[in-house]
Amino acid sequence: MANTLQAKKRIRRNNRAAVVNTNRVSRIRTSIKNVEAAVEAGDKKVANEALQAMQPELARGVAKGIFHKNTAARKLSRLSKRVAALK
């Protein structure tokens, strides 16, 4: 248990940040799943739109420190390749 006021404040701040970060990760994962679902359905137009919506979410996650830069690049690259392969 925290003894000092600063440690107690830090715990409160960490809890608030954890909630925000959890929401960000959830939003990013949902956007990734939307792209994957469109690819599975074979709908290139919807997949392209979902990919365009996912890119800024992923970039924002990198900027906020949620994802590593290379992780985001890998996810984006793999999904782009799958969308481009659709007819």
Question: What is this structure's pTM?
Answer: 0.85
Structural domains of the chain, with CATH? 11-84 (1.20.58.110)
Distance CA 22, CA 30 (A): 12
Each residue of 24-74: pLDDT tens digit? 999 999 999 999 999 999 999 999 999 999 999 999 999 999 999 999 999
Instruction: Indicate the burial class of 76 (C-beta count within 10 angstroms; 0-12, 13-18, 19 or more).
Output: middle
